[in-house]
Amino acid sequence: MSQTREEFVRRWSPFVNQITAGTGLFAETVLSQAIVESQGRTGLIPGTQLSRDHNNYFGIKAGSGWRGQTVSLKTGEVFNGKAVVITDAFRKYATPEDSFRDYVQFLRNNPRYTRAGVFTAKTPAEQAQALQRAGYATNPRYAELIAAVGRGIQKWIIPNTGSIAALAAAILFFLLITKPTKTATA
């Protein structure tokens, strides 16, 4: 089912918060990349053939180390400042969740993303720049595009409720144990 950006972000942000917890990845960056890589011409997500028919929301190609299913599709790239269309093999997933999980593993398992500072970025915009430095995409304006989408969607990202619930429970516990009690006199 195709969704608007808002519907997509509201649907997937709790899951993205869960799978990125403790990784240094910002939900805003992950969701922005998913939108950029899978939004179709209609503006709906999934809208590309790769995302709609093969659950690949991040345009991850099937390199020589990939042992899962693949699909060959045309894709736009920029080489030496020239936009070209090539046919390449992409990873194919059974579910969108598999695509999101594999995206996180893909970044974590490739040292170039660590070296570029993806996991230590202080802001989503810095993280987008690190992804571009690491060579995630050939578009020379990729970081700018990811950051712009991120600024537009951040208002729809559902916060990590696990952390909020834990914080609320800790505050409540603190208030209960520090509350003065009346002593009974006989």
**Residues linked to residue 89 through DSSP beta bridges, in sequence order:** 72
> How many of the other CB atoms lie within 10 Å of CB of 44?
17
Spatial separation of the C-alpha atoms in residues 56 and 102, rounded to whole Å = 10
Long-range contacts of 103-107 (CB under 8 A, 24+ apart): 103/30, 103/33, 103/34, 103/57, 103/58, 103/60, 104/19, 104/20, 104/23, 104/25, 104/30, 106/58, 106/60, 107/25
CA 127, 131, 132, 134 torsion: positive or negative? positive
Q: Where in the sequence numbering do the catalytic residues fall?
A: 77, 102
Tell me which amino acid residue 101 is.
Answer: R
Q: Which helix (H) or strand (E) holds 1?
A: none
